[in-house]
Amino acid sequence: MLRRVVLMLTLLSGLVVSPALAQEQADEQDEASKGEKRLKKVKERRPAYPMFSENSIGFRGIGEVWQETAIALVHSSSRFGGAGFFHTGLTRAIGFELELGYNQMKGKAVDPTTNEQTGNSSTLELVPISMGATLRAGGPTSEVFIGAGPALVAFNDRSPTNAISGVKIGGDVRAGVRIHTHFLQESIRPGARGLRRLDFELMLGRRQHQPFGVGSGLDLSAWRIGAGLVGRL
C-alpha cells in the first residue's frame, strides 16, 4: 500500500514539474530569438559604407603657396594645379597613399646678379610626389584622415639663356575629410567591376624641404590646400 502511494506521488510530481520545465525552455528560446532580432537590427543600422575595406583612386585640385622668394619674383607666390593619387587600406584604421602631381608656370626671366627682369620668358615645371601612411576614423556619412611621409619634387626651370633641373627631397603632412555621397551607386550585377562609390574630399597639407634652414638651392616648401573626388574600387 505504501509503495503504491509513493508511486502515485512521483507520477503527480512529474506531471506538475513537466509543464513548468517546458515553459522554462520556451522562455529561454523566446529570449534567444529576441536576442537574434536585436542583433539583426543593430547590423541593419550600421552604415552602408564598409569602413576602409577597399582601394580607392582620386583626383585633387591643389593650390600651393610656395616659400621660395625666387619663384615669387619670376612667376608667382602661389598656383592652382592638380594631382592624382592611389590609396589602399592596410587595416581598418591604417592605410597607404601615393600621390603624383604636376604644375607649370610661365613668367619673365630675371638676371640673378641684379634681380631685374630680362624680357625673356621662363618656364618652371614641378612634379611633386608624396607617399606615406594615413590614420583614419569614420562614420556613416564621412571619414577624417591624417597622413605623413616622405615627399620629393622634380623641377625643371628653363629660360632661353639658362636651365636648371633637379629633385628636392623632403617630408609631407596632411589632414582632411572625405564626405560620402550618393553620386555613384554600386552595381547589382554579379561580378561587376569598377567604381562602387564616390566621396568628396577636402584636404590641408604642408610640404617641407629645408627644415630649420638646412639645405641649399630652391626651397620648394609649400602650404597645400585641395579639394577633389575619391572613387572607391
Helices marked H in 46-154 — which ranges?
69-74
pLDDT score recorded for residue 111 = 59
pLDDT score recorded for residue 154 = 92
Dump pLDDT digits (tens) for 123-141. Answer: 888 899 999 999 988 888 8
Q: What angle do CA 128, 131, 135 make, to 5 degrees?
A: 130
Chain centroid offset of residue 104 CA = 26
pLDDT score recorded for residue 83 = 94
- Check: pTM over 0.75? Answer yes or no: no
Dump pLDDT digits (tens) for 80-109. Answer: 889 999 999 888 889 999 999 998 887 776
CA distance 37 to 152: 54
Retrieve residue 186's grid coordinates.
554600386
CA distance 67 to 170: 14
CA distance 182 to 197: 7
Flag residues of the chain having pLDDT under 50. 5-6, 11-13, 15-18, 20-22, 42-43, 46-51
pLDDT score recorded for residue 34 = 60
CA distance 202 to 180: 12
- Number of Cα atoms under 13 Å in the Cβ half of residue 10: 6
pLDDT score recorded for residue 89 = 86
